[in-house]
Each structure stands twice: as structure tokens, then as C-alpha cells.
Chain A
Amino acid sequence: MKMRRALLAAFIIALVLIVLLVSLREYYVAIALTVGAVILTRRELWYLMKKRKLPPFDERVRENMKKSARNGFIFFAAASAALMLFYTINLVFVTNRHPVQIMSGLFLAGGLVYLLSYVFYDRVEPKLDEKELRRLKKFLQVAGIAAGACIASFILHNVASGLLGIEEPVFFVIAVILSPGAIAVGLIGSLVIFARGLVRKRLPSERVSQGDVVPK
């Protein structure tokens, strides 16, 4: 019952948001939201079509929902802070594109990656062994720390430049070169491990090593 109510509420909110975005002519955001919502509720929709009822909202799912809500809040808070920062400092990019377009794209891409990772983590996690899970965590930590360092460096660079009246170089290099590089390394590394887990058919416990005796 709770699950049905939560899904209904999410559906109504998504519908209102999409109507609002279409009326504002932000079509690409509306499409991204629709795709994201379908991916997020993919399992529920499939179960609903197959069995004509919603899947059980068991204790593990409830625990994961709590974690997901927490991570989602952290992500959206960080993304909103970054966006506000870019609006405040009126950053000029070397490309001809408007900074808002680029930031919106990044924001949506980040959101989509988050949704995908949440939706598929259930399937990926059992197929990765302890070593790979540790590596995945490290890559994600690198990306997260680098993203935080990027925002902090932007603020510190602007504060230092404003106070001293000179173009401060250290935080600028961290924000523009080092942090994006580390984010890229973290994201690519984690995506590679994630994709490996997604395409792998066997669970680590089912993998047969060379020394094992295979029963006939």
C-alpha cells in the first residue's frame, strides 16, 4: 500500500514537472526526466505488467530507499551548490556554448548516472568480488573528493583573488586542471568496473578456478 502511494505520488510529481518543463520549452530536460523516471521504475513497471501487481516492498528495499534518499539529497545539494556557484561567478567558457547549457547538461548527466547506478547496483554488486568492490569504492571516493575539491577551490580562488587583488594560481590549477582530471579518472574507473559487473553472467561463487574439481 505504501509502495503504491509512493509510486502514485512520484508519478503525479513527474507529470506536473514534465508539463511545466514542456510549457517552458525545456524539451531536453523533460525527455531526460521521463527517461530517468522510466529507468528508475523499470523493475516495478515490468513486475506490474507481468504479474498485475506491484513487487513487495520488503525490508531490504526499504533500507536501500533510505540510503538512496540520503545519497540523492547529497548529490542534489552538491549539484545545486555547484550550479549556484557558476551562476554567481559568471564563468566564461572557451566554447561558444552558454555556460548554463553546459552546466545543465552536466547536471542531467550526473543525475542520470546516479539513477542508473541505483537501479543497476542490485544486479552488479553480487557479481563483483571483494577486490573489485573495494576498487569501485576507491574510484567513487576519488571522484567525490575531487568534485568537492573543485567547488572548494573555485570559492577559495575567487575569495583569494578578490581579497588580494591578484590572479591566484594554486586553487585555479586545482579547480580547472587537477580536479576535473581526478573526477574523470574516478568516473571512468568506476564505470569500467560497474560495466564489467553488469555484463558478467556468473556470480563470484560460481566461477571455477583452475584448481577446482568440477563434478560430472
Chain B
Amino acid sequence: MRTKIREYRVRRNLTQEKLAELVGVRRETIIFLEQGKYNPSLRLAHNVAKALKTTMDKIFFFDDE
């Protein structure tokens, strides 16, 4: 899985820590998500997209897409 979380986060001038606070997770979870090393639950993916003021399909991609 690939993500554009970092891109959207930088665009919104958010640090990993700030985004983690907004989503209610640890900073390490954001690091793993940005690197595509963690498959989030639907709820977490939704919360991340909401915090970045975008939709899930714009930040999460699968390799076969």
C-alpha cells in the first residue's frame, strides 16, 4: 500500500506529532502509515483523511491500482 499522507501533511503545515494528536494516535503510527508499512483500519484511515481535510481515496493507494 502507498500513501500520500506526508504530501498532504506538509501541504497543511502539520508535523507528524501534530497530526498524531489530531488523529488520536502515536507519532510512530503516523511514521508507519506514511511509509505504507501499516495497514490501518477503516476508522483510522477515515480519521487521518478527516484530519488532513481530504478523502480516503486521495491519500491511500494500493500497488495494483
Contact, CB under 8 Å: B26 / A126? no
A61 at the interface (CB under 8 A from B): yes
Instruction: Report chain A residues within 8 Å CB of B32.
Output: 60, 126
Instruction: Report chain A residues within 8 Å CB of B29.
Output: 58, 60-61
A110 at the interface (CB under 8 A from B): no
Contact, CB under 8 Å: A59 / B40? yes
Please encode chain B, from 22 to 49, with 1 for each CB lying within 8 Å of some chain A CB and 0 for all others: 0011101101100101101100100000
A188 at the interface (CB under 8 A from B): no
Least Cβ–Cβ distance between B51 and chain A, in angstroms: 13
Contact, CB under 8 Å: B26 / A59? no
Instruction: Report chain A residues within 8 Å CB of B28.
Output: 60, 122-123
Contact, CB under 8 Å: B44 / A59? yes
Would you list which residues of chain A between 81 and 98 have a CB under 8 Å from chain B? none
Contact, CB under 8 Å: A205 / B25? no
Report the number of A-B residue pairs with Cβ-Cβ less than 8 Å: 31
Contact, CB under 8 Å: B24 / A56? yes
Contact, CB under 8 Å: B37 / A60? no
Q: How many A residues touch B, CB cutoff 8 Å? A: 12
Instruction: Report chain B residues within 8 Å CB of A205.
Output: 35
CB-CB nearest in chain A for B41:
A59
Cα of A123 to Cα of B32 in the assembled complex, Å:
10
Instruction: Report chain A residues within 8 Å CB of B38.
Output: 60
A181 at the interface (CB under 8 A from B): no
Instruction: Report chain A residues within 8 Å CB of B24.
Output: 56, 58
Would you list which residues of chain A between 39 and 80 have a CB under 8 Å from chain B? 55-56, 58-61
CB-CB nearest in chain A for B44:
A59
What residues make up the interface of A, taking CB atoms closer than 8 Å to B? 55-56, 58-61, 122-123, 125-126, 203, 205
What residues make up the interface of B, taking CB atoms closer than 8 Å to A? 20, 24-26, 28-29, 31-32, 35, 37-38, 40-41, 44
New A-B pairs, 9, CB < 8 Å, besides A59-B41, A60-B26, A205-B35: A58-B29, A59-B44, A60-B29, A60-B32, A60-B38, A61-B29, A122-B28, A123-B28, A126-B32
